[in-house]
Amino acid sequence: MKKTALLILAALVLAISLPASAQQFADVPTDHWAYAAVQQLAQAGIIQGYPDGTFDGKRALTRYEFADALSRAIPAIQAAVKAGLPAPTAGTTGKTGPAGLRGPQGPRGSQGPAGPRGVQGPAGPGARELATMQSLVNQFRTELKGLGVNVAGLKKDIAALQQRVAAVEAEQARVKFNGEVTFIGRGEGNFEGTPFDRDGRALIGAGTANPGNVFQNVTGFTDFQLGVKGKVSDTLSATALIDAGNYLPFALNGVSASTANVDRFTLWNAYADAALNLPLVGKTGLTVGRFPFQLTPYTMKFIDPDSYAYLPILDNGDFVIDGMNAQMNIGSVAFNAFAAKSTVGNVNGATGLPLINPSLALNTAGGFEDLGTFFGGRAIIGTPWGGNLGLTYLNTQVPAVTNAQTQIYGADLNLTVAGIGVTGEWDKSDPNAALNDPLIVAPIAGTASYAEQNTAWNGKLAYQTGKLGLGAGYTVVETNYTAPGSWNRMGSRVNPTNIKGIVGNVTYAFTPGLSFVGDVQFLQPNNTASPITYRTPVSKGLVTSTGAIDKINYWKAGLKYALTSSDNVDLGYEQTELTPTVAGTANEVERFVTLGVGHTFSPGASLKVLYQIVETTGTGLTPTGGDSRGAVAAAQIQFKY
């Protein structure tokens, strides 16, 4: 055994001995990896070196010498056991006192004057290190007995210390903290007319008063999140997320940046997860409290209200609901049942939209403020070709209309056949008489009857070959289909209804660091007797086209370039073109041209900057139509811990 093997003890001894200056050995340079451990072991009296002042780390160590060193470490272990503490985990303020190990017995000496703060010490011994010490004691028990050590008592002391360390480690694992701190700067410029950003917010300033300098209208936002997850038992855990700052009032309430600078504290999540074993059902997971929740894009998914910043709680499609959700397996079917009420509580005072910010309105009078009370279930069934079939049922009340409710039935499929991905979804909304089913379509000409027109469906094929990825499909959303989903976005228009047509996408990786992404939609009215409607990302209010639309063509293209492993550049172009049915009338065109730059400082720290030109031309087929031009600049610094 080499003398350097003695350093197995270093982590243990350093954690339970006092930091102080120590003897220096002539043959251990200060830049050697073991220098600190050797010095501390010498100070603690574990090793003594040789009369010539050397450590002689290259010389083989005899069993007796190693046992002697081990015996010198024993009083420190015993002292830690008697103190009832596993060990400090860092260096503390140094204090004057006699050299050598602190004896396990004897009266406490007077405290010396405070010295300078010691160097950060190593982590205290854990269960693994103590197991190593126990093994060493067993291996050298003969030599230790020869040195007068009570081996049996020492084993008990180490076992007691192991129990205390295990308790500490279990406590540390029981509660975990995490969080995010995000700083956002947003500047707006108005060059012409009344421009709106991609989320439907009117940009600050008038064309004549603001020459278009986005740095003249800058607003700063802060968002702080603190998450706590505690393990109550092996089958029960609790999770909470608190959000503070002035960003959510701006993002959720549809007001301009200049009037949204209000700090708020919000209990975003607070729920418990339990693993149960119920009669007849068997193993069941149960979530109770205020928790994130979504279903499918066409049935229940939150619309991102801010395209210019990234916060997972707003971008991941989750609603915030108060209630319960049970997950279980019934045979080969994964099933969950839920019942909840949407979280209502304005984040910007008495006015503005509620925290949940609903994804739709279910009546033509301006919609409802929240999802109300709802319940339902979803089942997922395995299919051939490694796919799955999902079945969804949702029943929700509509608080803005007395006795109003709607039911949504859905089915979705996802599988791969011969290398081709196949996806599809079919859904039907079924509002009751209080919602005047149907909601928008007038009686069929010459009759008193209504056509339901309450379904939506889509199908898509996807194929990847080498660097090229292709996708193509067809979509139909009838006039009266309504659901709290997020199924389509074309620029500033979300969830269009009374549309049908072809959709497609393409991706191509030129190099590992350079790629192209493109999306297209060629749509037209599904029912020419009805208007095309849509929502805006922020207000979620219903917008109806003011003129008859013959077709909608949508393009989106982007280049992504990774300059280095930490730096990237994005260039994007997005355009929505609406063609009127009246011949000779100019098309309405909405364009967004975006340049983005990102830098990653570390896995937990990043910077994103973008500049976007906003432009609308045309005669006004929609309420926000007309010629306008503006710009948005945004910067986001985010820290995760």
- The tens digit of pLDDT for each residue in 282-301 reads 889 999 999 999 999 999 98
Q: Are residue 201 and residue 142 in the same domain, yes or no?
A: no
What are the pLDDT digits (tens) for 220-263? 999 999 999 998 888 899 999 999 988 887 887 655 555 556 67
Reduce the secondary structure of 489-540 to three states and give it as a string: EECCEEEEECEEEEEEEEEEEEECCEEEEEEEEEEEECCCCCCCEEECCCCC
> What CATH number does residue 432 fall under?
2.40.160
Cα 427 from Cα 407, distance rounded (Å) = 10
Q: How far is CA 442 from the centre of its chain?
A: 44
Q: Which of 149, 183, 203 is the last residue of a domain?
A: 149
Cα 14 from Cα 91, distance rounded (Å) = 9
Nearest to 419 by CA among 386, 380, 457: 386
pLDDT category, 530, cuts 50, 70, 90?
Answer: confident
Nearest to 433 by CA among 405, 474, 453, 465: 405
The length of the chain is 641
SS3 content of the chain, % helix, strand, coil (to 5): 15, 45, 40
Cα 519 from Cα 465, distance rounded (Å) = 18
Cα 634 from Cα 596, distance rounded (Å) = 9
- Tokens representing 80 are 């830690």
pLDDT on residue 531: 82
Nearest to 501 by CA among 470, 524, 530, 529: 524
Cβ 549 vs Cβ 211: under 8 Å: no
pLDDT on residue 211: 56
pLDDT on residue 125: 53
pLDDT of 216 > 90? The answer is: no
620 CB neighbour count, 10 Å cutoff: 15
pLDDT category, 628, cuts 50, 70, 90?
Answer: confident
pLDDT of 116 > 50? The answer is: no
pLDDT category, 2, cuts 50, 70, 90?
Answer: very low
The mean per-residue pLDDT over the stretch 480-494 comes to: 89
The angle formed by the CA atoms of residues 195, 198 and 200, to the nearest 5 degrees, is 65
Q: Are residue 371 and residue 239 in the same domain, yes or no?
A: yes
Cα 468 from Cα 462, distance rounded (Å) = 11
Residue 162 in domain:
no
pLDDT on residue 122: 45
pLDDT category, 488, cuts 50, 70, 90?
Answer: very high
pLDDT on residue 48: 58
Q: Model-level pTM?
A: 0.72
Residue 594 in domain:
yes
pLDDT on residue 150: 77
Q: Are residue 141 and residue 221 in the same domain, yes or no?
A: no
pLDDT category, 81, cuts 50, 70, 90?
Answer: low
When mean pLDDT is compared over 48-62, 114-128, 327-341, the highest value belongs to: 327-341
Q: Give CB contacts under 8 A, 24+ apart, made by 501-505.
A: 501/474, 501/475, 501/551, 501/552, 502/472, 502/473, 502/474, 503/458, 503/460, 503/472, 503/473, 503/474, 503/475, 504/470, 504/471, 504/472, 504/473, 505/469, 505/470, 505/471
Residue 161 in domain:
no
In this structure, of 4-8, 365-369, 421-425, the range with the lowest mean pLDDT score is: 365-369
pLDDT of 32 > 80? The answer is: no
Residue 467's domain spans which residues?
174-440+456-640
- Tokens representing 564 are 């280095």
Q: Are residue 92 and residue 178 in the same domain, yes or no?
A: no
Cβ 535 vs Cβ 542: under 8 Å: yes
pLDDT of 16 > 80? The answer is: no
What are the pLDDT digits (tens) for 60-72? 556 666 666 666 6
Q: Is 436 helix (H, G, I), strand (E, B) or coil?
A: coil
Q: Which of 116, 149, 182 is the last residue of a domain?
A: 149
In this structure, of 37-51, 250-264, 507-521, the range with the lowest mean pLDDT score is: 37-51
Residue 163 in domain:
no
Q: Are residue 481 and residue 603 in the same domain, yes or no?
A: yes
Q: Are residue 199 and residue 327 in the same domain, yes or no?
A: yes
Q: Are residue 129 and residue 181 in the same domain, yes or no?
A: no
pLDDT of 504 > 90? The answer is: yes
pLDDT of 351 > 70? The answer is: no
Residue 502 in domain:
yes
Q: Are residue 368 and residue 302 in the same domain, yes or no?
A: yes
pLDDT category, 189, cuts 50, 70, 90?
Answer: confident
- C-alpha distances in Å from residue 316, one per residue of 183, 196, 301, 304: 19, 24, 9, 8
Residue 70 in domain:
yes
pLDDT category, 535, cuts 50, 70, 90?
Answer: confident
Cα 137 from Cα 545, distance rounded (Å) = 83
Q: Are residue 119 and residue 243 in the same domain, yes or no?
A: no
pLDDT category, 525, cuts 50, 70, 90?
Answer: very high
The mean per-residue pLDDT over the stretch 500-522 comes to: 96
Nearest to 16 by CA among 114, 91, 71: 91
Q: Are residue 114 and residue 249 in the same domain, yes or no?
A: no
Counting the structural domains of the chain, the total is: 2
Q: Which of 132, 149, 166 is the last residue of a domain?
A: 149
pLDDT of 190 > 60? The answer is: yes
Cross-strand bridge partners of residue 485: none
Q: Are residue 182 and residue 121 in the same domain, yes or no?
A: no
Q: Which residues lie closer than 8 Å to 584 by C-beta, 6 or more apart?
A: none
Owner of token pair 């069934």? 381
Q: Is 588 helix (H, G, I), strand (E, B) or coil?
A: strand
> How high is the mean pLDDT of the chain?
76
Residue type, 23: Q
Cα 512 from Cα 509, distance rounded (Å) = 7
What are the pLDDT digits (tens) for 559-590? 999 999 899 999 999 999 999 888 777 888 99
Residue 179 in domain:
yes
pLDDT category, 405, cuts 50, 70, 90?
Answer: confident
Q: Which helix (H) or strand (E) element contains residue 267?
A: strand 264-278
Residue 447 in domain:
no
pLDDT of 329 > 80? The answer is: yes
pLDDT on residue 1: 44
- Tokens representing 276 are 């149960």
Q: Are residue 250 and residue 185 in the same domain, yes or no?
A: yes
Q: Is 63 helix (H, G, I), strand (E, B) or coil?
A: helix
The mean per-residue pLDDT over the stretch 388-396 comes to: 94
